[in-house]
Structure 1
């Protein structure tokens, strides 16, 4: 765990936060996990980054309890990075981007696409460095190891749950609709951006064919 790897991982973690912030700011829908975060943010009157941190730390705590090979230093680093991740989202959404309004629908789609690509790039680099983990992915992997279901089953089930809860909160509290066309766009664009980014700086000898579960983890990691 070199200082260079830590600093680079944190940098790309924060680039991913910038991408998420732009995709939310575009207001054309967001990815499944962020759809739940934004809905909870409106209901609880808390900032989106704060909700993101709370949910990520919740899953990190569960991973800590389930992980028999837990590394205390690694979990401490994850704790700090997740708190910082949420604060960076808040910084962008409520300070740096707060005075910017995208009125044109075409421009909002463009900003969403750009944000998704940036988020995918940052996430792919985090996965390439293989230091910081995404709590939800780690949780699904730990559960799959203790059951007869695959990682993909639990990860996609989580996505469906997030979308369902977001729609339920929207109905119950008359919120803005966060599950929209952007949700579908991110389903296809995000996985491609993550896969491209993950292999961008990889040397030829490291370019191996991943097993299906690992590939799915890479593609879905940006929602954490």
Structure 2
């Protein structure tokens, strides 16, 4: 859960930078502008939609696992709202280079947190889980479905921005995120900061 929320913190920073956002978040930000709902709230709604679809596709579903993911998603959106609309609400960065650095920092933090969530494998991100479920049932790969969702998110974001004459959030940050985020996640997945099992001495002490 800690690393899940670390990822949410990084996403918040990348959105605050206002130089573009990742493919999935571009749709969240655009919908937030159209509906006047907070970005974290939109993120939670969309993630819950994917979680529900995963529930119907998952042959080995467990209430415990899905309730845990539900709790994580609610916290995930709440952290984004807390940082964007409370902690950073009065922070204004006008110069381009500091904004770009803030975006890169946020992307690095988000990628690190995401990688740790994946390597621990206690919680799953709904979109990735949804793509994995589809890949198991079709001839298409996980990568195919994941990129397809990115394309759909970017297309809908651009459509909303142009239709409602809103600022376009698919910008240079989107391209940076496309290459940087996946690299950081891959690097983070090679790290195991939390031991997979307790040392024998601790297990024995715990049993006593």
Fold equivalence (TM over 0.5): yes
Distance 1:81 1:40 in 2: 22
Return the alpha-carbon distance in structure 2 between the equivalents of residues 143 and 14 of structure 1: 26
Larger radius of gyration: 2
Residue 45 in 1 paired to residue 36 in 2? yes
2:139 to 142, 148, 167: 148
CA deviation after TM superposition for structure 1 residue 138, in Å: 0.9
**Aligned partners of 2:103 and 2:88: how far apart in 1?**
14
2:180 paired residue number: 189
Question: Which stretches in structure 1 are left out of the alignment for 5+ residues?
Answer: 1-9, 204-224
Structure 1 moving runs of 4+ over 6 Å: none
Q: Using the TM superposition, give the Cα deviation of residue 33 of structure 1 relative to its aligned residue in structure 2, in angstroms.
A: 0.3
User: In the alignment, is residue 172 of structure 1 matched against residue 163 of structure 2?
Assistant: yes
Match of 2:3 among 6, 12, 33: 12
> How far 1:201 moved relative to its partner?
2.5
d(CA) in 2 for partners of 1:191, 1:36: 19
- 2:78 maps to 87
Deviations 1:124-166 (A, max 9, x none): 1111111110101111111111111111111101100000000
In structure 1, C-alpha distance between the alignment counterparts of 2:193 and 2:37, rounded to whole Å: 39
Residue ranges of structure 2 left out of the alignment (5+ in a row): 195-208
Alignment of 1:102 onto 2:90: no
Taking the aligned partners of 1:138 and 1:179, their CA distance within structure 2 comes to 25
> Quick one: distance in 2 between partners of 1:140 and 1:119?
20
Q: Tell me how many residue pairs correspond in the alignment.
A: 194
Query: Against the structure 1 CA distance between its residues 202 and 95, is the aligned structure 2 distance closer, same or farther, given a 3 Å change threshold?
Result: closer
3-state DSSP of counterpart to 1:92: helix
Q: Normalised by the size of structure 1, how large is the TM-score? A: 0.85
1:67-112 Cα deviation digits (max 9, x unpaired) = 1110110000000110110000000000001110111100000000
Which residue of structure 1 lines up, in the alignment, with residue 153 of structure 2?
162
CA-CA distance at 1:202 after TM superposition: 7.0
CA 202–99 in structure 1, closer or farther in 2 if over 3 Å, else same: closer
Between the aligned partners of 1:93 and 1:202, the Cα distance in structure 2 is 28
Separation (CA, whole Å) in 1 of partners of 2:83 and 2:179: 25
